[in-house]
Structure 1
Amino acid sequence: MENSTRNKIINGLSYLSILFLPVIFPLIVWIVAGKQADIRHHAVRAFWTQLIPVILGIGQLVIGAMYGFITNDLQSTSWLFIGMLAIVVLISVILFLYNIVKAIQVFIA
Structure 2
Amino acid sequence: MNETNIKGVNALSYLSVIIAPVIIPLIVWIVAKEANVISNAKKALLIQIIPFLFVVLSFITIGIIGLSTNSGPITGFTTIILFAIAGLVSFVLYIYSIVLGIKQLLAS
What's the TM-score bracket when you normalise by the shorter of the two chains? over 0.9
Task: Provide the aligned length of Structure 1 versus Structure 2.
Answer: 107
Paired amino acid for 1:15: Y
The match for 1:51 among 43, 49, 52 is 49
Residue 44 of structure 1: how far off its partner (Å) = 0.4
Q: Which amino acid letter does the alignment assign opposite residue 9 of structure 2?
A: I
> Secondary structure of 2:45's match?
helix
Q: Deviation of residue 66 (structure 1)?
A: 1.2
Aligned to 1:15: 14
Q: In the aligned structure 2, how far is the partner of 1:23 from the partner of 1:63?
A: 24
| Map of 1:39 onto structure 2 | 37
Q: Does 1:85 align with 2:83?
A: yes
Structure 1's consecutive aligned runs of 4 or more residues displaced over 3 angstroms after TM superposition are: none
DSSP 3-state at the match of 2:17: coil
Deviation string for 1:34-87 (max 9, x for gaps)? 3x1110111000000000000000110111011101111000000011111111
> Quick one: distance in 2 between partners of 1:33 and 1:71?
49
TM-score, length-scaled by structure 1? 0.95
* Distance (whole Å) between structure 2 residues aligned to residue 14 and residue 23 of structure 1: 9
RMSD: 0.9
Unpaired runs of 5+ residues, structure 1, are none
Residue 104 of structure 1 corresponds to 102
Q: Secondary structure at the match of 1:18?
A: helix
Gaps of 5+ in 2: none
Query: What percent identity do the matched residue pairs reach?
Result: 38
1:5 aligns with 2:8: no
Q: State TM-score, norm by structure 2.
A: 0.96
